[in-house]
Amino acid sequence: MREFDPQVLLEKARQAREQAYAPYSNYRVGAALLGRSGRIYTGCNVENAVYPLTTCAERTAVVKAVSEGEREFVAIAVVTENGGTPCGACRQTLREFREDLVILIGDTEGRYRETTLRQLLPDSFSAADVRR
């Protein structure tokens, strides 16, 4: 039996997307990260005129969760207009916490697909690689 309802996570991500600050790209992203505790942490992208300082929705959700003491995650839903996948920096940030994290990638029409972080970031770099 599944630990979560994909539709709940996708709806939370859609709602978070509405809060995005994307005046430069107009590419709004929302994320909803489910912690092992059952709590959902949302995030949206926050752009900056200096593009490298932009914060992605996925990383916003992770930072919120970690700052609240959550360290174990079950799944994340990411919603964009066209079903875009998490960027490389977000994939690596998510990898820090769980290689087999379930990722729901949705669009504004209600379509989504399910994958895992392992599929999006094969042969990833992790804490095991920096241990001596």
Q: Is residue 1 part of a domain?
A: no
Q: Is residue 40 part of a domain?
A: yes
What pLDDT does 65 receive? Answer: 98
**2 pLDDT exceeds 90?**
no
Q: Is residue 91 part of a domain?
A: yes
Report pLDDT digits (tens) over 91-104: 999 999 999 999 99
Mean pLDDT over all residues of the chain? 96
Band (pLDDT 50/70/90 cuts) for residue 20 is: very high
Supply the CATH number for residue 121's domain.
3.40.140.10
Q: Is residue 119 part of a domain?
A: yes
Q: Among candidates 77, 75, 40, 39, which has minimal Cα distance to 57?
A: 77
Instruction: Tell me the percentage of the chain whose pLDDT exceeds 70.
Output: 98
Q: Is 58 exposed, middle or buried (0-12, 13-18, 19+ CB in 10 A)?
A: buried
Q: Is 130 exposed, middle or buried (0-12, 13-18, 19+ CB in 10 A)?
A: exposed
Give the DSSP H or E segment for 13.
Answer: helix 6-17
**3 pLDDT exceeds 90?**
no
Whether 58 sits among the annotated catalytic residues: the reply is: yes
Q: Which residues of 73-110 are buried (b: 16+ CB within 10 A; e: fewer)?
A: bbbbbbbbeeeeebeeebbbbbbebbeebbbbbbbeee
**132 pLDDT exceeds 70?**
no
**121 pLDDT exceeds 60?**
yes
**63 pLDDT exceeds 90?**
yes
Q: Is residue 96 part of a domain?
A: yes
Q: Can you tell me the distance from the alpha carbon of 86 to that of 101, in angstroms, rounded to the nearest whole number?
A: 13
Active-site residue identified among 3, 58, 72, 96: 58
Q: Which residues form the domain of 100?
A: 6-130
Domain count along the chain? 1
Q: Is residue 95 part of a domain?
A: yes
Q: Is residue 73 part of a domain?
A: yes
Q: Can you tell me the distance from the alpha carbon of 7 to that of 90, in angstroms, rounded to the nearest whole number?
A: 22
Q: Can you tell me the distance from the alpha carbon of 81 to that of 29, in angstroms, rounded to the nearest whole number?
A: 8
Q: Is residue 121 part of a domain?
A: yes
Band (pLDDT 50/70/90 cuts) for residue 131 is: confident
